[in-house]
Amino acid sequence: MRTTLLSCGLTKEENARLLPLCQRIGAELREVRPGEYGCSLNRLLAGETSLLGCPDFREEMLVMCGFTSAQMDMLLAQTRTVPLKAVLTPINQGWTVNQLHAELAKEREALRRK
């Protein structure tokens, strides 16, 4: 798997600021459009996407795919303002972007309640 950062909900300017960082750590930046939020993470990474016209969310989210610990540390240090971040795992790789967002939002709410 190629090291890829999936970018959801970021503006073109924010993605442009992320691009040099991705290049420095050897990762591809893949901007996910709202119409693709119904696609699974696997399909997005394989380039097998289609615009599904599914509901979107208005929150920034990054998904790190194939990152080493060092790459992750560098990215996390530079993206503190992005509220939701995830790592691609065997469990979530078949989830849609919307499903991943919902799960992260649920986890964040559970942490806020504690």
Per-residue pLDDT of the chain (114 residues; tens, 9 = 90+): 699 999 999 999 999 999 999 999 999 999 998 889 989 999 999 988 776 666 667 799 999 999 999 999 999 999 999 999 999 999 999 999 999 999 999 999 999 998
Give the global pTM. Answer: 0.92
Alpha carbon 82 to chain centroid, angstroms: 10
Taking a C-beta distance cutoff of 8 angstroms, is the pair 36, 49 a contact? yes
Query: Whole-angstrom Cα distance, residue 39 to residue 45?
Result: 10
pLDDT at 58: 79
